[in-house]
Structure 1
């Protein structure tokens, strides 16, 4: 099923706007955060104007209604990702908090000095720093899956890397730098052989491809709503129910308790046990409408459209010349992300000059400093697509880069 990005773009108010300099906005930073359709904006506005009340605690109508909307979103999230059950969906502030929750609750409880955690060298800092902090605290050993020249995982030493000392593998499904989509099945199979657990960072994959959590057999899966049309400040931790049941609360406070005495407390059942305090109720309700929108467009159609745009962008960048591309050449293994550098031009200069043309891309290390250091570069330019992007957006990017090249060529001749 193909999609019409021109029609869908009309549902996004910000995509009808112009840059402050009057030029049309060309938004190509979707790996950082997606734009929001009218339905999501209207749902959050409606909550604050007509439905605002705290959840889980009131017996009055507004509170009961808000609770119902919130919990319906939990069920919808479970169905969207084919999770084990709705109780296995924990709402957080984002993928970062979800990873920290696992590190501080499951990690502190189950990991002991000498245990090993396996990561990769291209992990986002959110899936690296929490494990570094825990490793220092608990005297753990961190090991890293290397990447091949085409930016896929090097699995040649998988049996040595993941062994009887391994307790957790924490790894991304799709790179936020290169868009490389990794085949995690060999890693999951090896994890099962040694009795370890696997946490998958789905911050990129969740918004761009179909993820089936039962079929994938991940122990933990994390993602953020704001990358998939939803509001900021909403994230999800999926965990297998039996694992979540065994985890102690990470934060204490309201809503996660069963009984409280002066000296000790008992805790509520899942999911409340891991959701202390008042959550981002409006954001969660908005996320419900984001999933409705994505379901209507179709995740398979979204993935196909992004792969088409990515392939087109790669072809046009190659024609432009003077471009260093990063990522696999196998376009079937790529999502809607293109990382590149322009010969002789710092990425920040490229980004600033494209901004003058109304083109928004991301430049820098993309929260992946170890990867950049391994490539011996300060950063890259990154254009990232979503289903509302068009070939004309790519053409605008190429024209902008041609202008940057021309300006720097003139400067070099002086």
Structure 2
């Protein structure tokens, strides 16, 4: 998968920089065109001439050393690369890029880059476990950075534990596998809905539900990882936007209906995981409703059924719905699949530590041809990945 790829290798100042030399050589052997950026610290461990000889390209160390007056080097390198590898990525480098700092050639280039970035950390075992480093890793993952976990073993400091830069062969294997994975749904357009809706009562009150959007966002990430072009229509959630995914924010069921209907004709796959309100107040107040003696009655009216509408209007789209039930989940889920003319449905029973708000779930994936797949209790991320694999296989069969 690396043959013919333009690979930008960022080397930071750790003892593991020597392994980056072998990595450069093996990338070139794979057929990649490699250019290297070194931090000032990295040059204390390995001379730039070494990387120049191995890559057969100039090595970049200084943001102010513009080799070609017709181009701005860090912008040119960012545009040039098909993918970027940071190996070794020290704790210091992780902290700088997680906080958007651009104080040298490498960090400046990273801010300008739009290509995938693979990060291979290397540091002392206690540094790797430090809360600040963990926080930075989480932030970078939210930004779309891909990680190659450090290995366990003897470290230069004398400790034995996690923090050792992965071997060059393993780094290349991980990248090759991920690049292959991104070909699975390449060219497919995927629409996913996530989160709750809010139905306004007055300026300070609304009806909503317990949906967190975690399942929908996990599905969007899983589809993106398979190479799909993803559009995420999201109700009000507290989740961070996913890098590389077009997100449309909506509030009410009607806003979600309008957004979905507009995007629907261009899609290959639609997964409606949002928990959309079935009812909304028939009348809303422009002013806050004042407390009065006695009961308050709010008359509700039906919202438009998004999933049923899509079931009637779909042409070549593969349509997947969700059914979150508190009783007889399979019975109600299968009935919903038929009634709304779906291609498949994801059925789950809401309850303790699963379903709404939870990071975990267990589901049944059921198709219109009565194929049933049970996905046992797992994180929503793991479930999303398995669901996308199942959906892609069913789409391929049709």
TM-score (norm 1): 0.24
Larger RCO (alpha carbons 8 Å, 6+ apart): 1
Give the structure with the higher percent strand: 2
Give the structure-2-normalised TM-score. 0.25
